[in-house]
Structure 1
Amino acid sequence: MIKEEEWMTIRGLGSRIKKGMTVSEISRLTGHDRKTVRKYLLAEEKLKYSATDRVSKLEPYKDYVRLRLKEVPEISIQRMLREIKEKGYTGAHSILGDFTRPIREERQKEAVIRFETMPGEQSQVDWSSFGTIEEYGIKKKLYCFSMILGFSRTIYIEFTTSQDIFTFLTCHQNAFLYFGGYTRIILYDNAKTIVLSRYQGNIEWNTNFMDFAGFYGFQPKLCRLYRAQTKGKVERPFAYIRQDFFIGTKFEGIEDLNQKGLSWLNTLANTRVHGTTKEIPFERLKKESLLPLKNRLYDTSYIGARKVSSDCFISYEGNRYSVPYQYSRKSLTIRADKGRIRIYADNQQGPVAIHPIFRGKGKDISDPKHFEGLKIKQKERWDGFKEAFFSLSPKAKDYWDGFLSSSQMRGRWWELRKILSLCEKHSLEDVEYAFKRALKYQAFGYKYIEGIFINLRGKGPFTGPEPLKEILKRTLEKMGAPKVEERPLKTYDQFLDQYRASQN
């Protein structure tokens, strides 16, 4: 017997037979045989479906499932399924899911007693995504940071294009400055920005965040998993921020957006009568008794290591910033905030370079002072190198001039250093011969000089005057002379002594 929905489909299509639709077309559309289609089209009465009483495979385990949901509300379906399978359950995952879903939904509808905090006791923090923003021609994700004081409901917001730990701490500190202090406890969700892992009550916090919390002396707490009620004071304001401020607001860049956001906080969000407290947040803020900042601020700058390029620049967020030429190819440390980047070297108390942050990408930001003396130093090094090259042989100057004027060697001056290093391993006569031959055929470049030396000696690069013994040995080998066993000189002395004795 087909399902009731299929029967209704067939009957509905049957009404089109008078308009030209055939039984074969209905069969093709429904996937049923033509005989089956014809049977139900000719039936005069509607099919009767009766529900059969069947015992669910989950029935023996329902009490256990209810008990586990009561004890551990956050338990996953997968874990629950493993537990009841160990007890003999043979049903599917879907049966368990269908049974637990109404229980979880009913639990979420339970009345929640509103938790009101004492003045200065607790604040709540969270992020929320607000789409994208184009900043200096680059499309970036836009986020909103929010901190709300539990007692007064005073709120602070800040829009950012990053959720890294340094941005997170900067937003905290800006909120502290806005409120004039901070609470003893700050409640968070389980964002990866601050929580690296959380298992069975053991929490691994981000070390930078814990250093920040220790600096100010507040206690961080995490809200209960899957219990949005513990963080509702922050999550509800995000909807308020979107509807009352963000939607429809025109802005030019993130700085303009934050300026307008601050104005909205001061003139509307924190000056209205709050729907829960029935008081103005700024008025209740006076009773908060927040912990004071004591004129000390935590350094929330980004800290990282950078290798200086050969042309005296370091890279940060798609731009390059100059450093003094003395630090070329060295490793330095950078500290960057929203306004500037400071660059430090080991064993130096202050920064070796400070630049304003450029918000676009692909730009070189340089300070002319960083290159003062570099040209003089480079000229001194070049003059010293030139003098060393000229001292190789009388023909070295002619070769130098020919090399630099050669179109093939243009931009390959570094080969002169390799030629200098190669020539220092050969005798003055060999170097002079190599330069004369190279000038004769206008063959400039390292590989040509090296080839001349190889042809000159018949082997690899020469390391000094060749011993006469080696020259004779090579000549005899070319002549095909038989090899003679080498003997110590004492052997010949003994032979001479015997010869003299026989003559006497």
Structure 2
Amino acid sequence: MKTDVGRQAEVLKLHLVDGVSIRAIAKRLHMSRNTVRGLVAKRPQPRRAPVEPRTSLLMPYEAMLKQLLDDTPELRAPAVLERLRHEGYQGGVSILRERMRRIRPREKEAFLTLRFAPGEAVQVDWADFGFALPGIPRRVSAFVMALCHSRYLYLEFALSQSMGSLLRRMENGLRFFGGTTHVDIFDNMRTVVLQHTDKGVVFNTTFLDYARSRGFAVRACNVRRGNEKGRVERPIGFVRERFWPGRRFTDLMDLNVQAVKWRDDFANNRVHEVTGKVPALVFQHEEKQVLRPLSSARFETDELEGVGVTKSFRVRFDRNFYSVPPGLIGQQVVVRANDDWVRVFLGMKEVACHQRGWSVGQDIELAVHRQAALETKPGARKGTLSPVLQRMGDIATRYFKVAAAGSKSLQRESVRLVFFAEVFGTSATAAAMEDVMRSGHVGADYVEYVLRQKKGLVPSAAPLRLGQPELDEISLSEPDLSVYDTLVPSSRMLVADAVEDAP
């Protein structure tokens, strides 16, 4: 009986040397195919010869390169290349840069745990949550303020990160805390930090004025230094992980109602994972009483923007359009807006006030502005329609009321519609006007298309035009000729009279 070693040798010979398949080997040696596969898999693997390290043009200068980087770690690859050229190096800068990246001495930066006294600082930042509101094409942002000592949190969602929106959120947060800290620390949001320079940070002057009015200093985090804003970054991550997943809401107000309840019932009353304390209790007993009192000075938090009034008596603000009195067309006005209202001013006088729209491309119009615009259109005034159009009744009035708000020539519309009434008939033209308005349009071209193409009507000859409106607009009813029968004797009576008169 063959040993296992002998059986494996025979199997390997048949498989590797003779090229016999697994199935044929199993049949020939009376083994199962799995046994044959196992013996083949256990064959000894050949040892690979050690690979000789690749040589490069830089290898003879390795020691010199290390010495240069030890002496001057900040040396860049082009400067090192200049030094090695003098020693005979013939390679390029790419291989040199790659090698320097591997051997340059690096010191691991030590991060100190930042400690803040009660009432010393608060960290502030925005966090983007994407297009989260149903039917509103605007990104939702979370405004987060976190007191650095107690980790007490203020959270509010908004649809804009503009200066006005930031200032209103700041006001809400300061009132929530009941005071201000000595310094507010911000990430590099564009409404606070304009740029970092060699001489320091350039801040937005509007925000500095606000900080001065509220009595706190402003500090900006260094660029790409996440460790400097951990007090607010961790709460933002906490909101993403614990509040946001699976959340359902109908609008921004509903979202903020849920956020307030979660913030006050859970976030500020949990045991903090770093301090091991409850933020609400630490705030209540250690930090609240040392906050600076809020200033009563009023600061403008509305968004202000100077715009021009278009020929459609609209002003454009924040990607939406708002109506104003049509008498302001072509003038410059000031738009003042907060989270709820958009007001328009001409000088010191408020000329329009709208509820703010938070969609995009909305056209928000007051009925009084449309009515004022219609009154400036002669064709839309009562009694100015031609008699032919007046006979159409309410449809003509409604048609020209809509047309007066557009840019079409009302005189041309009137002339063409009168012509259609004459050649196609008044009732057919009125019905065509109704069909056109039902499709959302006005215009004589549409009316003609309905008459000719959809209804298939053929125009008949138009009446003679004299060129004088007082004559062309005369409308006479069809005369009743039967009255003449009582005045003219019948032919039979005339014959009888003639017979009697004959001699």
TM-score relative to the length of structure 1: 0.59
- 2:97 aligned with 1:103: no
Q: In structure 2, what is the equivalent of residue 352 of structure 1?
A: 351
Aligned positions of 1:343-422 closer than 5 A: 343-346=344-347, 349-370=348-369, 379=378, 405-406=415-416
What does residue 437 of structure 2 align with? Answer: none
- Whole-angstrom CA distance in 1 between matches of 2:412 and 2:371: 32
Please tell me whether the aligned partners of residues 403 and 409 of structure 1 are also in contact (alpha carbons under 8 angstroms). no
**Residue 152 (structure 1) aligned with residue 154 (structure 2):** no
1:382–1:354 Cα change, 3 Å? closer
- What does residue 122 of structure 1 align with? 121
SS at match of 1:103: coil
Residues 62 and 178 of structure 1, relative CA distance in 2, 3 Å threshold:
same
Structure 1 pair 329–280 and aligned structure 2 pair: CA distance change class (3 A): same
Structure-2 change in CA distance of 1:353 and 1:99 (3 Å): farther
Aligned to 1:24: none
For 2:263, the aligned partner's letter is L
Q: 1:173 to 1:49 in 2, by over 3 A?
A: same
SS of match in other structure, 2:131: strand
Question: C-alpha distance in 2, partners of 1:371/1:407?
Answer: 24
- 1:140 aligns to what SS in structure 2? coil
Q: Which amino acid aligns with 1:184?
A: H
- SS of structure 2 residue aligned to 1:133: coil
Q: Is the 8 A contact 2:131 2:139 kept in 1?
A: yes
SS at match of 1:233: helix
- Structure 1 residue 185 displacement after superposition: 0.6
- Residues 305 and 334 of structure 1 are in contact (CA less than 8 Å); yes or no, is this contact kept in structure 2? yes
**What is the alpha-carbon distance in structure 1 between the residues aligned to residue 373 and residue 346 of structure 2?**
19
Q: SS where residue 132 of structure 1 aligns? A: coil
* 1:61 corresponds to which of 46, 68, 90: 68
Distance 2:340 2:161 in 1: 18
Deviation at 1:376, TM superposition (A): 5.1
Q: 1:353 to 1:152 in 2, by over 3 A?
A: same
Q: 1:316 is matched with which residue?
A: 317
Tell me the equivalent position of 1:268: 266
The answer to whether the aligner puts 1:204 opposite 2:169 as a matched pair is: no
How far is the alpha carbon of 1:120 from its aligned partner? 1.4
Cα displacement (A) at 1:344: 1.1
- How much has 1:152 moved relative to structure 2? 1.4
TM-aligned CA deviation for residue 244 of structure 1: 1.6
Q: How does 1:491-502 map to 2 (within 5 A)?
A: none
AA in 2 matched with 1:208: T
Matched residue type, 1:59: K
TM-fit CA distance, 1:263: 0.9
In structure 2, distance between residues paired with 1:154 and 1:204: 29
Question: In the alignment, residue 313 of structure 1 is paired with which amino acid?
Answer: R
Which residue of 2 is the match for residue 476 of structure 1? none
Against the structure 1 CA distance between its residues 59 and 354, is the aligned structure 2 distance closer, same or farther, given a 3 Å change threshold?
same
| 1:225 to 1:367, Cα distance in 2 relative to 1, 3 A | closer
Contact 1:154–1:282 (CA<8 Å) still a contact in 2?
A: yes
SS in 1 for 2:139: strand
1:32-68 alpha-carbon deviations (Å, 9 max, x no partner) = xxxxxxxxxxx965222244894536313222454x4
Q: 1:148 to 1:80 in 2, by over 3 A?
A: farther
CA distance in structure 1 between the aligned counterparts of 2:133 and 2:121, rounded to whole angstroms: 35
Structure 1: unaligned runs, 5 residues or longer: 1-13, 21-42, 69-78, 384-399, 413-437, 441-504
Structure 1 position 371, deviation (Å): 5.4
- The range that moved more, 211-220 or 366-375, is 366-375
Q: Which residue of 2 aligns with 1:304?
A: 305
1:48 is aligned to 2:18: no
After TM superposition, the runs of 4+ consecutive aligned structure 1 residues lying more than 6 A away are 14-17, 380-383, 400-403, 408-412
3-state secondary structure, aligned to 1:62? helix
Q: Deviations over 1:254-301 (max 9, x none)?
A: 322222111111001111232333332222223322222234453222
Change (3 A) 1:259 1:84: farther
Whether contact under 8 Å (2:133, 2:250) holds in the other structure is no
Q: Distance in 2 between matches of 1:334 and 1:140?
A: 21
Alignment root-mean-square deviation, CA: 4.0
Counterpart contact for 1:58–1:95, Cα < 8 Å: no
Distance 1:310 1:262, change over 3 A: same
Mapped partners of 1:44, 1:284: distance in 2: 69
How much does 1:307 deviate?
1.6
Picking from 211, 235, 238, the partner of 2:236 is: 238
The answer to whether structure 1 residue 330 and structure 2 residue 334 are counterparts is: no
- Asked if 2 retains the 8 angstrom alpha-carbon contact of 1:340 and 1:355, the reply is yes
Alpha-carbon shift at residue 188 of structure 1 (Å) = 1.7
| Count of matched residue pairs | 349
Query: In structure 2, what is the Cα distance between the partners aligned to 1:312 and 1:15?
Result: 90
Determine helix, strand or coil for the equivalent of 2:269: coil
Q: Which residue matches 1:185?
A: 183
Q: 1:152 to 1:345 in 2, by over 3 A?
A: same
Deviation at 1:129, TM superposition (A): 2.7
1:133 and 1:253 in contact (8 A); partners too: no
- Read off the aligned partner of 1:262 and give its amino acid letter: V
CA distance in 1 between partners of 2:141 and 2:261 (Å): 18
| Counterpart amino acid of residue 156 in structure 2 | E
User: How far, CA to CA, are the matches of 1:370 and 1:234 in structure 2?
Assistant: 47
How far apart are the structure 1 equivalents of 2:215 and 2:272? 30
d(CA) in 1 for partners of 2:118, 2:246: 35
Superposed displacement of residue 84, structure 1: 4.3
Task: Give yes or no for contact 2:213–2:297 (8 Å, CA) kept in 1.
Answer: no
- Partner of residue 340, structure 2: 339
Q: Secondary structure at the match of 2:194?
A: strand
